[in-house]
Each structure stands twice: as C-alpha cells, then as structure tokens.
Amino acid sequence: MKKRNENKKNKKKNREIRIITWGFVVLFLCMAGYITYYSVTNHQELINNSYNGRQQALLAQNVRGRIYSGDGIILAQTITDEEGKETREYPYQNLFAHVVGYAVNGRMGIESQANYYLINSNAPLSEKAALDISGAKYPGDDVYTTLNVELQQVASTALGIYQGAIIVSEPESGKILAMVSKPDFNPEEILDIWDELIADKESSILLNRVTQGLYPPGSTFKIVTALEYIKENKDTYQNYSYNCTGAITRGEERIQCYHGSVHGTVNFNRSFAKSCNSSFANIGLSLDRQLFQDTLEELLFNQSLDLPFTTGTSRVEVSEQTSEGDMMQISIGQGTTGITPLWLNMLTCAIANDGTAMKPYVVDYVQNSAGTRIKTFSPAVYGKLMEEQEAEILSGLMRDVVEEGTASRLSGLSYTAAGKTGSAEYGTVKGDSHAWFTGFAPAENPQICVTIIIEGAGAGGDYAVPIAKRIFDAYFEG
Amino acid sequence: MELYVSEFSKYVIALLLIFYTYECFAVFRFEEEAQRKGIYIRQNLFMFLFHFSCFLVICFETSDITYLFFYAFQQIILYAAIVLYHMLYPKTNRLIINNMCMLLIIGFVILTRFGIEKAVKQFIIVTGSLVIALIIPFFVHKFKFLKNLKWIYAAVGIAALSVVMILGQTTYGSKLSYSIAGLTFQPSEFVKILFVFFVASALYEASGFFEVFTTAVVAAAHVIILVISKDLGSALIFFVVYVLMVFVATRNFLYVIAGLFGGSGAAYIAYRVFTHVQVRVQAWKDPWSVIDSAGYQITQSLFAISSGGWFGLGLYKGRPDDIPFVEADFIFSAIAEELGILVAVCLILICVSCFVMFMNISAGISDKFYQLTAFGLGVTYIFQVFLTIGGGSKFIPLTGVTLPLVSYGGSSVLTTLIMFAVIEGLHIVKQEEEELRKRGERKVRRKRKPVIDEMEDLSGDEIEKEE
C-alpha cells in the first residue's frame, strides 16, 4: 500500500519524463512499423529498379527461369552451353514477340513484368546444395502464363501481313489467351536488330499495339453511345425511330453512313446492327453531356489502367462546351477519340460478364524447379462498368449485329457469336479505314472474347469478322 | 553444407535476437535488480549464442577459420567488461551493460563482414573505450563538484566546436573533424556530453525565465556553429535535447511549444538559406527523381532495406557496398538486408529498451542535477538513433549521423560508451539514494512508530538534509 502510494507520487513528480519516454516509444514503434511495411510492400518493385545492383547479383547466381504457355509449352528458356555462356531462346521466335517480350537491352512483356520471379530461385535446398558442389547456377523460378499457343498461332496467321492487333481473353476470369501485335520481331535477334528498330519511327515495331496502340474506335464506339442512350432512356429506348437518308447535317458538320449506304427507317436495334452513322449521330445529339461524362468515367476513359503491365490511356473529350458537330463525331467513334484494343476487350468482356470487368492478366502462376507453386495469381475484379441489365441489352444488340447486321459472317455456325464491327477512318484520304471487330461467343454463355483491329484494311465486317470466325472456330472446334 | 549452414543460421540468428529482445522488456516487470537476475543470465546466453552463430557463418562464408580468433578476442573483452563492471560496481544496472554489449556485438559482426581491417580498428577503439568507461561511474558518483562547472562545460564545448569550424577539414561537404597525431576526432560527438552537463548544471537549482534565457543563448551558440559547419544532424540533436531538458527542468509545457515554433522557424530559414538543406529535403520527398545525384544514397539504402525480407539474405549475400558510407551512416540498412527485417526491428527495440531504462533511472533520482543529466543523455542517445534509422529508411530527411555503438567510427563509439558509463554512475547514485531513504525510513519508523501516514510526505530531499 505504502509502496504504491509512493510510486504514484513519483509518477506525478516525473510526469514530464514519462511523457517524453512514451513519446519516443510510440515514435519508434511507428518507425519500426513503417520500415517493415515499406520493405515488404516495395520488395519486388525495388528489385526491378535499374539502379539496383541486386538484379545483376541474382542473375550471376541463378539461371533465368523459363516462361511457359498455359498448356505447358516452353515460350522462353535460357540455354547454357559448355563454356557457361547463356542464351535466351524463344522457340516460337516472332509469334510471342510482344507479349513474352525480351530480356536484353532493357526488358519488355512478361520478361519485364515477371522479371522478379524469373531471376529468383526457390529451388529446394538439397538441389541448390548439389549445384553448389558441381559449381552450376541455381535454376530460376518458372513462370506459367495463360497464353494458348494454338490460338496465338491462328490469330497471328489470320492477321497475316497486315499491321494490327488481336487479343483473345476469357470474360469470366480475365485470362489473356492470345495477344498478337504486328509488325513483330524475333526476340532472339533483338541485339542485332536493335538499332534498326530504334531508328524505324514509322511502324514502331516494338510497340505492343494491343496494350499501347491508340486507335480511333470507329463504329465500335457505338457500344458506348448506345449504353449512354439506354441509361438516359431506360423505358423508351425501344421506341426510338429514325429515317436514314445516308447522311445527317448540323451546321458545318455532315455525317455520312459508311460507303454512302441509305438505311431507311431504323429502330434502335437496327441502327446498331447496321451501324448506321446518321442515326447514331442523331442519338448523340440527344445525349446529356454531363451524364455522358460520368458514363465515360465509369468506362475507364481518360485514366491510366491499374494493371501490372504498361498500357496506353484511352481518351475521349466531352464537356459542356462540346459542339453539336463534335458530339456527332464522338457518337460514331470519329474525331479525337482514341482507344487501345485492350480497353475495348475489357469493355466487351464486361458486357459478356454481366457488366463486371475482370482484371486482364497473363501471368498465371510461378513454380520452382521442383514443381512447387511459389505464387498463384487469381482472377480479380477490375470494376463494375455497367448494370447487369444494361449488359444484357448491349449483349442483345451485339447478337443482332451477327444475326442481321454487319457481322453476319458469324451467323449460322455451331456456336452463337455476338459482337460489333467498326471501320475507323483515319488520315486525310476518305475511305482509308481500320477494320475493327470486338465480340464474344457463345452469346448465351460467353467463354471467349475477341478484339481485332487491322490497320488500313477497310470495313470491319469484311476483314476483321473473318479473323474472329477463325479464332472462334479454333477455340470451339479445334 | 555451407548452404545449409547459411540458410539454417538465418533463422537461428533472428530467433536468438528475438528472445534477447523479449528479455529486454521482460526486465521492466520487476522493480529490483535482484529479481531480474535470471533474465540477465538468459540474455547473456542469447548474446553468446548470437555472437557465436554469426561468426560461425562468417567463417563458413569466407572459408577462413581465423575469424574465430577474432571472435574469441571480442568474446573475452566483452565478457570481461560485463564481469568487471559487476565486480567493481555491484550496484550497476545490468540491462544497460548487456544492451551495450549486444549492440557492440551486432556492430562487430556487420563490420567484420564489410572488411576485417576496419573491424579490427573498431575493436581496438572499443577495447580502449571500455577501459575508460570502466572508471567513469566512480567519478560520476564521487565528484560532487560536477554540478558547479556549468561555464566550463559551455566554454569548452563552444571552443571545441569553433576550432573545428575554423580549422577542421571538410568531410563530404561538412566540417566535422580534426586530426591529432593521425587520429581523427569528431568533437561534436564529445561536446554532446558536455552540453548535457551544462544544461543540467545550469538549471538544476533554479529554472526561472532568466536561467532558461541564459542557457538558451549558449545552446543557440552551439547549434549555430554546427549549422555553419553543415553538421545538421548534430545541430538538431543539440536543439531537441535542450528543449526537452528545459521542459523537464521547468515542468512548463509552454517551453516545448515555444521550442517547436522556434525550431520550425529556424528550420524554414535554414531551408531557404542553405542549398544543402534544400537538397536533403528534395532527396527525402522524392529520391527517385534525383536517383543519380542527391537521392543516390537513400535509394541504395532503400534497395538494401527492402531486399532482405523477414530473415535477410544472409551474411555476405547482400550488396551493402552499393551504399556510400554504409559502415557509418547506413549500417542499419545493411543489417536489414543481410540479417533481415526481424533482426532490424529487434535492433530498434534494443535501443528503445536502453532508452526506457535511462528514463527509469532518471525518474528514480531525486537529485535534480543527476536526474537532468540522465534524462539529457538518454534523449541525446535515442534521438540520434532516431535520426540515423529514420534518415536511412526515408522516414525523415537524411542527416548523416551514426548509429551509436553499431556504426564504425571511433569518436562515436567512445562518446556513446562514456554516455552509458555516466548513466551507470547515475544508476549507482540512484541506488544509494534509495538505500539512504530506506535507512531513513527505518529511523523514522523507530522514532514515530504509530504515525505511518505522515511518512509519505517525506520526499528524498528531506531525507538527504537529515543526513
């Protein structure tokens, strides 16, 4: 009792010292917490920094790991010859150039994104110990991707000598099954052709057109315009009717239907199926600019995507001040609007997946040399882009495009497809256009989602849709 | 085999230090040193095993068995220190001694890993410093006149700092040291102790506005000289120590607020006037944008801290040499990389444990001069730890001070050992005060047995007068 009282008095007497003591203790706990948090969360990112010498140290210790396709076929591996010289081999050479990438003169693709795993080794201790005795390097961990060699081959062959981009993905998971960008290069020869690639400003071969290429969306943008119209006219959009005379004029601006077609009287579905420019320009004029901006924001326009690989930013400029002429241009996907094929693929996947966009991903899991999984990447939701009901309506519209519209080459097959074509005019010469198609199949239970752009080919229905057919065929029948 | 040793040892080393650190705080459950005996013995055991494991790994990694001899020497010196302290001064606080040795051990291990030459040099300095530290407690608790030397402390301190400012050689942009007979001294380290003694002796009797004002002038002189010498870290330490000592002496929170405002104002002016301050702040806010120049050190330090993971890469497996001046200013980052975040956090906690014990001693002393001295030295110590660890991890801007007892550097280690020894002396003062009080209580009890309650009004001071 006495002692406690004395303590209490002592405490009161030394209140200042106690305060300072606790102050420093709390400060140090914060600092320890901060250091722990920082080191754990920044571990990978900092290893990949080019100023960090540990990369070289790891490469001196470990052989760079292999990259596999989803079905276990080697896409990249390092071969060590008898003198210990290492060469990185890409068995499919040009085929996976952009998506798998390269690892000399900087890095690109999966070689860059999964660099941390490839240069680290989680081989079992016993194996490492044995390798120590023989003086060999440890095997780096292997990266398994979601890629499908067959689909990649079909897509690449179908694109042929054209420049362009194709992405094939699973709407439910976000897995990327194929990613083709042309023109391509052989990653094995990267050192020899490097100067050439850098010097060639025109075709930008090193650019992954799927993730970074910015294209005018053309008629594929009508998906967005249609969505906004449905949102603003929930109950009445089906009553829409317009008489297409082949063109619509507002002030100076004149919008023509593709190749001068005259569609006559069209309702909402038919405007979409036939991709009637005049009708969609008309729809665009009726849109509320403020609400439209909100929708565009929800659809991830004008923001960098939060993904583990470099992506271009899809952009569109709408404001209260946007003129009627510009609204008409925007509604049919012309003007200053630019999108990446990846973005369009995410939008299409969201429509196929009840409005929810999954995070597109290409690295599936990481495995050590003994076959133990070190790290697994699970499907993750990117965001809800639209309501389930809206996705259903858009899906129906896209179904009509196949059944009675511009993608009729996909009708009457063993599977049911849905999609939207586009012919995006570019440059100054009238009629030069990129052929677009984005769509999914089967329409009732979507399993894959395809987005295609062929630069300067012409109409989407004529050039992009047949490629989609070959990819769907390979997936469902092959 | 070597691989198994290095992989397995990582966990053993981390675990041993975790056990040790646990005991560092378990100590505070007991009031009396006698009750803590078991804890101290366990601590000595964990220390020994930690030290031995680390050197075993060093031998394996370098395939050089001679490191074990170096280890043996360290072992002998440190245990001699522990035993001698206990024999010469039975009333010492053993937690402080243990922590002191533990920190020295961590320093020896990491410095040996950097290179045997510097490690041996450090070992020799530590040995000499320990001998000096051994006699200090005696002087502290015997020499009562230490209280009366305030102007001598101030004069010597300012003179030493001024000499360096005027004559001193420039080390990496800041004038910090001068050489006598081949040995380089960094006087700002020693002046820290003098400064604490000055403030304590100036404020222990009376701490009215006049006393605070005169000491403030002297403190400002110290700080300004250091700022001109570009030794910002030390300047900050002096400032903080002064403000907090005034707070404890006056028990007036307004001084802290005034100090806070004054300090912020001074920091702002320094930021506007000195480009080297701007560079430091820039390198703290966004080191990645100046990774080639001002941000190089800190980013390399962050690479090190973030690459070790929980258990570290293992000794010799990291790249501490990538960080410029790693052995002095960034030793914490090297420890985090090779021994792991767990060991690094334990290291932080051991420093905190020292500090809490210093504060306990300070709070337990009735004599105001000794109390203020213990408090000032404790704050000096912990604030320096804060500056170096916080600076190296981008928690605060980098100021470039050493991690006491762990970093390479003769002046630093000698100063810190003296500080620890002074506090041991003060602990003896505290123990003797307590004994006196107990004796006094017994006396009083005999005199006025029935009136127990009144005893509580007897403060230590009154008993002292009775003596």
A423: β partners: A435
- Between CA B455 and CA B434 the distance in angstroms is 15
**Residue A74 in this model has a pLDDT that exceeds 90:** yes
Backbone angles phi, psi at A353, to 5 degrees: -115, 45
pLDDT of residue B291: 86
User: Could B248 and A35 be called an inter-chain contact, meaning their C-beta atoms sit closer than 8 Å?
Assistant: no
pLDDT at residue B109 above 50? Answer: yes
- Note whether A32 contacts B: Cβ–Cβ < 8 A: yes
pLDDT of residue B18: 96
Span A385-412, average pLDDT: 92
Q: Is the pLDDT of residue B60 over 80?
A: yes
Q: Which residues in chain A are contacts of B350 at CB distance < 8 A?
A: none
Q: Would you say residue A452 lies in a domain?
A: yes
Q: How far is the first Cα of chain A from the last one, in angstroms, to the nearest whole number?
A: 88
Mutate to test the interface with A, among B240, B307, B362, B430 (most CBs of A within 10 A): B307
**Domain-located, residue A417:** yes
> Which pLDDT tens digit goes with each residue over A82-116?
888 889 999 999 999 999 999 888 888 999 999 99
Among B153, B138, B160, B148, CA closest to B90: B138
Instruction: Read off the DSSP letter of residue B10.
Output: H
Beta-carbon count within 10 A of B321 CB: 13
Kindly state whether residue A431 falls inside one of the protein's structural domains. yes
Amino acid at B92: T
A43 to B389: CB separation less than 8 angstroms, yes or no = no
Q: Which residues of B touch A18 (CB under 8 A)?
A: 359, 363
Higher local confidence (pLDDT), A51 or A173? A173
Which residues in chain A (88-127) have CB-CB distances under 8 A to chain B? 125
> Which range, of A338-347, A424-433, A438-447, averages the lowest pLDDT?
A424-433
For chain A, how long is the longest CA-to-CA vector?
103
Report the SS3 class of residue B332: helix
> How far is the C-alpha of A325 from the C-alpha of A319, rounded, in Å?
13
pLDDT band at A68 (very low <50, low <70, confident <90, very high): very high
CATH code: domain of residue A224: 3.40.710.10
- Distance between CA atoms of residues B300 and B293, nearest Å: 12
Neighbours of B27 (CB within 10 A): 23
Cβ–Cβ of B355/A24 closer than 8 Å?
yes
Residue A191: per-residue pLDDT: 86
| Residue A6 with chain B: CB contacts under 8 Å | 456
What is the C-alpha separation between B245 and B374, in angstroms, rounded?
10
Instruction: Report cis status (omega within 30 of 0) of the bond before A183.
Output: yes
pLDDT of residue A52: 85
State the pLDDT confidence band at B164, using cuts at 50, 70 and 90: confident
pLDDT for the residue B184: 64
**Which of B251, B336, B352 shows the shortest C-beta gap to A28?**
B352
Q: In this predicted model, what pLDDT tens digit does every residue of B171-182 receive, in sequence order?
A: 555 556 665 545
Q: Which residues contact B129 (CB under 8 A, 6 or more apart)?
A: B413, B414, B417, B418
In the predicted structure, residue A407 carries a pLDDT above the cut 50: yes
Q: Is residue A144 part of a domain?
A: no
Q: What is the mean pLDDT of residues B316-320?
A: 88
- Mutation target for B interface from A4, A11, A39: give the one with most B CBs within 10 A: A39
Write down the pLDDT at residue B172: 54
Q: What is the mean pLDDT of residues A215-223?
A: 92
Mean pLDDT of B277-282: 87
| CA-wise closest residue to A250 among A218, A214, A284, A288 | A284
Contact A361, A174 (CB under 8 A): yes
CA distance B300 to B319: 10
Cα separations in angstroms, A110 against A69, A365, A460, B196: 11, 12, 30, 59
Query: A31, B389: Cβ pair inside 8 Å?
Result: yes
Mean pLDDT check: name the lowest of A227-236, B137-146, B253-262: B137-146
Q: Do B352 and A16 touch (CB under 8 A)?
A: no
Q: Name the one residue in this structure whose structure tokens are 């100067």.
A: A195
Is residue B363 a contact partner of residue A18, using CB atoms and an 8 Å limit? yes
Please report the pLDDT score of residue B205 as a whole number: 84
Residue B457 has pLDDT above 80, yes or no: no
Token pair 């005049």: residue: A278
A79 CB near a chain B CB, below 8 Å? no
- pLDDT given for residue A49 in this prediction: 83
The chain-wide mean pLDDT, for chain B, equals 87
Chain B residues with CB under 8 Å of A129 CB are: 1, 3-4
> Could you tell me if A437 and A420 are in contact, meaning their C-beta atoms sit under 8 angstroms apart?
yes
Q: Which amino acid is at A275?
A: S
* pLDDT at res. B52: 95
CA B41 to chain CA centroid, nearest Å: 23
- More confidently predicted of B452 and A249: A249
| Chain A residues inside the 8 Å CB shell of B356 | 21, 25
| C-alpha separations of A262 from A7, A244, A259, A462, A472 in Å | 96, 6, 9, 19, 31
pLDDT in tens, A431-450: 688 999 999 999 999 999 99
| Percent of the residues in chain A that have a pLDDT greater than 90, as a whole number | 59
Q: Does A6 touch chain B (CB under 8 A)?
A: yes
- A316-331 confidence digits (pLDDT tens): 988 888 888 889 989 9
Strand order of the β-sheet with A373-376 is A86-89, A74-80, A67-68, A142-145, A363-367, A373-376
Provide, as residue numbers in chain A, all residues whose Cβ is less than 8 Å from the Cβ of B2: 132
| Number of Cβ atoms within 10 Å of the Cβ of B302 | 24
Provide the pLDDT confidence category of residue B463 given band limits of 50, 70 and 90.
Answer: very low
Domain count, chain A: 1
Instruction: Enumerate the residues of chain B whose CB falls inside 8 A of the CB of residue A24.
Output: 352, 355, 379, 382, 386
> What count of other Cβ atoms lies within 10 Å of the Cβ of residue B308?
27
Interface test with B, best of A1, A9, A13, A16 (most B CBs within 10 A): A16
Contact: A31, B348; criterion CB under 8 Å: yes
Distance CA(B348)–CA(A28), nearest Å, equals 7
Residue B16 predicted with pLDDT over 90: yes
**Any domain includes A357:** yes
Tens digit of each residue's pLDDT (9 = 90 or more) over B196-230: 999 999 988 877 888 888 899 999 999 988 888 88
Most confident of A189-198, B86-95, B347-356: B347-356
User: Any CB–CB contact under 8 A between A134 and chain B?
Assistant: no
Q: Which two tokens stand for residue B421?
A: 């020894």
Report the pLDDT value the prediction gives residue B447, as an integer from 0 to 100.
63
Q: Which of B336, B395, B455 sits opposite A39 (nearest CB)?
A: B336
Q: DSSP per residue over B258-313, as a string?
A: HHHHHHHHHHHHHHHH-HHHHHHHHHHH-GGGGTTTTTHHHHHHHHHHHHSTTT-S
β-bridge partners, B183: B180
Tell me whether A20 touches chain B (CB under 8 Å): yes
Assess if residue A104 is contained within a domain: no
* The pLDDT value given to residue B292: 83
The 8 Å CB, 24+ separation contacts for B112-116 are B112/B55, B112/B58, B112/B67, B112/B70, B113/B58, B113/B315, B113/B316, B113/B320, B113/B338, B114/B320, B114/B321, B114/B326, B114/B327, B114/B334, B114/B408, B116/B67, B116/B70
CB contacts < 8 A, A to B, total 118
Q: What is the pLDDT of residue B464?
A: 41
Beta bridge partners, A419, equal A439
* Euclidean distance between CA atoms B319 and B338, whole angstroms: 9
Nearest-CA distance A62 → chain B (Å): 13
Quick one: three-class SS letters along A184-204? CCCHHHHHHHHHHHHHCCCCC
Residue A124: pLDDT over 50:
yes
Q: Which residues of A touch B309 (CB under 8 A)?
A: 39-40, 43
Predicted local confidence at residue B400, as pLDDT: 80
Say yes or no: ipTM exceeds 0.85. Answer: yes
The reported pLDDT for the residue numbered B462 is 42
Range of the domain at A408: 212-362+379-476
pLDDT of residue A11: 58
Number of H helices, E strands in chain B: 17, 3
In a domain, A204, yes or no: no
Selected residue with higher pLDDT from A301 and A430: A301
Contact (CB<8Å) A51/B299 = yes
Q: List, in sequence order, every beta strand (DSSP E) within A218-303.
A: 241-244, 247-250, 253-256, 264-267
d(CA A106, CA A97): 14
Indicate the average pLDDT of chain A. 89
Which of A113-117, B146-150, B162-166 is predicted least confidently? B162-166
Give residue-wise pLDDT tens across range B354-373.
Answer: 999 999 999 999 899 999 99
Instruction: Please give the pLDDT value at position A428.
Output: 62
User: In this model, does residue A117 exceed pLDDT 60?
Assistant: yes
Burial class (CB within 10 angstroms; exposed 0-12, middle 13-18, buried 19+) of B245: buried
Question: Cβ B3–A36 below 8 Å, yes or no?
Answer: no
Instruction: Tell me the whole-structure pTM to 2 decimals.
Output: 0.80
Q: With helix as H, strand as E and coil as C, how does A83-104 read?
A: CCCEEEECCCHHHHHHHHCCCC
Nearest CA in chain A to B388: A31
Q: Do A10 and B389 touch (CB under 8 A)?
A: no
Alpha-carbon span A320 to A290, nearest angstrom: 7
Span B84-104, pLDDT tens digits:
998 999 888 999 999 999 999
Task: Give, in order, the Cα–Cα distances in Å from B329 to each of A465, B83, B400.
Answer: 64, 31, 6
Domain membership of residue A177 (yes or no) is no
Q: For B43, how many CA atoms within 13 A lie in the half-sphere containing its CB?
A: 25
Q: Report yes or no: B405 and B105 within 8 Å, Cβ to Cβ.
A: no
